[in-house]
Structure 1
């Protein structure tokens, strides 16, 4: 997304320019970031809903990457824009902000209790433990004291919310890196590569309760996806990057990679139509848990094509659909958590009403509509609050004009002059 202009701000910290030799920039807000992030939340909801036919309208089955890369990459991109606009002049304030932001994420992380409550309520009402079984909630009820402690220390990954612990760690990491690296994208890129290589060669990751489970998103590997978005935002105005993105050869390469990814994913085989997987080796090595570079390259190719198709001046953002996705993207954290609750509820809904295609479509579109409605309500409330805060205090009522002595016409011109004494 390098075709968007940005506003430049020089760091007033005695260094003038950073080690990269370029003036640090604070990019202006690009509506496409929120649009794609909002769309990713809807896609994640459909993908997390059990056996939902609507997942075929996402990128899940058509390539080597999915909505996870989109969401994490864009989160890094958006956080970079925010950090540059707030902390260029005071870089060391990034650390306390990161702690505050991580605490907000931590509070949302505990929303797992809501999902567990729904699973318990469904078992009581319907006599079925399908939600507990499918969502791996049973350990929470069996060893509540142990799991609560593990949840509080990020040692238990809550179902469907397992990406939030990753965000907590990445936010804290960025709070440490930004005061040191500032606006030098090369330092972030070098750090990301070194840490990813460390994870690849050593197998470093984090475990989750029970100890035989590992983190769904290895933070030592997925930091590279997050920082890739951060670096893309930092380097978006670099002349060489603009030339690369604008080159027809780059677009041709991206299209080729997407086609290869489609053949490797072999959606026809997933549907059971034809058991032909000529490039299965790519899917075997495209490890999602450890953020395989193959997946990142595939995602970046998709992102490049999206930038060519949807320009910043495009009218898509002004449509009802575009506006809805933008508003979801602007409130991505709470709406993501709500969408995971909807995804958890799908296990009970489909168990109760059956898993027919009409039920799946109605539930998927209905809950997506609820997300859109919540986004519009939140936007309206935000505007009302902002208007109320920014409204100037009401002006004091003007003092009444003094009453003047009546003018008697018959007194002639002399008496037509206004009286100077005001009546009490």
Structure 2
């Protein structure tokens, strides 16, 4: 583990990672697993219980931050064409991962429904149409227009990354990009625009609205070149008034969450317009209250946790950092495990099973992060050896050429 902790930073000559983004993305992935297991009592301790935002908002914001950090640097070093090609390559990986996860998840739910002689799983996961029209459903899944439950986050991420391709040059003009993004968000909210969904009209996570959160993360992550060298990372300045406003926003969000969970009788006593407002804070179109909530939380955490905090390289933080650095396989495994956790808790939801499900789930996610980090270290070590060994370079040249072609 100590070697993996040392390897969390990139090799010499490469841009330093922001371990804060990795650590909190790992926590968000863990929360997504917890929240996707019905009946999981640990779900009462995740972000969604104390704020209007949840792990999904945190994941999208951090994904934008990482994209701005990585592809913004590629843009400055190699130009738009190369950066766009790198983005499209990543998009291909995300798309293949989504289709693979779709096939595995559909088989998992379908087998469970057949074995237990219950169609409830198919109905709840919105997979009933797959049994009725399998060929058409598969085609719509390939077009990202059929998204069963739990399988709607990766399509959102894919479309957001696709939006970033033409928007990459605008990272150098942050006010223009932010203005266009906010204007698009307002138009989408006012006119109810959404991408079409084959089953129920629109995407559960509307990319046309969620892009404002993603591009906010991109602009926070992008570090421009100034006078021939990379300047400081952009940040919203520390100010007591902003700190107070962020705390107030989170407290108001907590009150709204508590009213929604425990205060139905209070809603009846509120004026009709206010009651309607509090009961229509939607997630699909990223309601402004949810957007403010996640941005306020990010502002406070960003200033409370410095980029060079020692605990980010500690043994305690390392599992979450590694999970965040290998988010795609960790997410896919988490979706698969969530349904297994549900089956286990439906058989026995007492405390021993609760503990076993959550410990096994977290251990599996950490294992994926560790395996990914180990493989990356081995790959980096082999590359370093090849770079200092001309004979090795010559022997490995055909394989390297093949890899590049792929």
Q: 2:33 aligns with which of 37, 45, 60?
A: 45
Q: Which residue of 2 aligns with 1:404?
A: none
The answer to whether the 8 Å contact 2:109/2:121 transfers is yes
Larger radius of gyration: 1
How many angstroms apart in 2 are the aligned matches of 1:177 and 1:394? 41
In 2 relative to 1, CA 310–275 (structure 1 residues): closer, same or farther, beyond 3 Å?
A: farther
Residue 243 (structure 2) pairs with residue 257 (structure 1):
no
Residue 283 (structure 2) pairs with residue 288 (structure 1):
yes
Relative to the length of structure 1, the TM-score reads 0.79
The answer to whether the 8 Å contact 2:50/2:253 transfers is yes
Q: 2:339 aligns with which of 344, 348, 351?
A: 344
Q: Which residue of 1 aligns with 2:80?
A: 91
In 2 relative to 1, CA 196–394 (structure 1 residues): closer, same or farther, beyond 3 Å?
A: closer
Give how far 1:275 is off: 5.0
Cα RMSD over matched residues? Answer: 2.7
Q: Which residue of 1 aligns with 2:373?
A: 379
Q: 1:107 aligns with which of 96, 100, 108?
A: 96
Q: 2:238 aligns with which of 239, 246, 263?
A: 246
Q: Which residue of 1 aligns with 2:4?
A: none
* Match runs of 1:166-181 below 5 Å: 166-179=156-169, 181=170
The answer to whether the 8 Å contact 1:328/1:335 transfers is yes
Q: 2:124 aligns with which of 124, 134, 139?
A: 134
In 2 relative to 1, CA 96–234 (structure 1 residues): closer, same or farther, beyond 3 Å?
A: closer
* Match runs of 1:17-32 below 5 Å: 28-32=16-20
The answer to whether the 8 Å contact 1:216/1:289 transfers is yes
Higher helix share: 2
Q: Which residue of 1 aligns with 2:354?
A: 360
* Match runs of 1:183-202 below 5 Å: 183-202=172-191
Give how far 1:263 is off: 0.8
In 2 relative to 1, CA 349–234 (structure 1 residues): closer, same or farther, beyond 3 Å?
A: same
Give how far 1:217 is off: 0.8
In 2 relative to 1, CA 130–368 (structure 1 residues): closer, same or farther, beyond 3 Å?
A: farther
In 2 relative to 1, CA 30–294 (structure 1 residues): closer, same or farther, beyond 3 Å?
A: same
Which secondary structure state, in structure 1, belongs to the residue aligned with residue 316 of structure 2?
A: helix
Q: Alpha-carbon deviations, 1:268-304, whole Å to 9, x = none? A: x63x598546786654343211012221111111112
Q: Alpha-carbon deviations, 1:88-129, whole Å to 9, x = none? A: 141222322222221111111111110111122223433344
How many angstroms apart in 1 are the aligned matches of 2:152 and 2:18? 28
Give how far 1:183 is off: 1.5
In 2 relative to 1, CA 82–329 (structure 1 residues): closer, same or farther, beyond 3 Å?
A: same
The answer to whether the 8 Å contact 1:339/1:371 transfers is yes
Deviates more, 1:277-286 or 1:91-100: 277-286
Deviates more, 1:360-369 or 1:128-137: 128-137
Q: Alpha-carbon deviations, 1:112-166, whole Å to 9, x = none? A: 1101111222234333444323212222122101100100111101321201111
Residue 291 (structure 2) pairs with residue 301 (structure 1):
no
Q: 2:155 aligns with which of 159, 165, 185?
A: 165
Residue 110 (structure 2) pairs with residue 120 (structure 1):
yes
Give the paired residue count. 365
Q: 1:59 aligns with which of 40, 47, 51?
A: 47
Task: Return 5+ residue gaps in structure 1 as ranges.
Answer: 1-25, 397-424
Task: Return 5+ residue gaps in structure 2 as ranges.
Answer: 1-13, 225-229, 393-406
In 2 relative to 1, CA 252–282 (structure 1 residues): closer, same or farther, beyond 3 Å?
A: farther
* Match runs of 1:319-334 below 5 Å: 319-334=314-329
The answer to whether the 8 Å contact 2:39/2:342 transfers is no
Give how far 1:223 is off: 0.7
Q: Which residue of 1 aligns with 2:141?
A: 151
Relative to the length of structure 2, the TM-score reads 0.83
Q: Alpha-carbon deviations, 1:192-247, whole Å to 9, x = none? A: 1121122122211022122x3421111110111101111222479999975x5321
Q: Which residue of 1 aligns with 2:58?
A: 70
How many angstroms apart in 1 are the aligned matches of 2:176 and 2:132? 46
How many angstroms apart in 2 are the aligned matches of 1:292 and 1:79? 23
In 2 relative to 1, CA 201–281 (structure 1 residues): closer, same or farther, beyond 3 Å?
A: closer
The answer to whether the 8 Å contact 2:126/2:149 transfers is yes
In 2 relative to 1, CA 127–169 (structure 1 residues): closer, same or farther, beyond 3 Å?
A: same
How many angstroms apart in 1 are the aligned matches of 2:198 and 2:258? 34
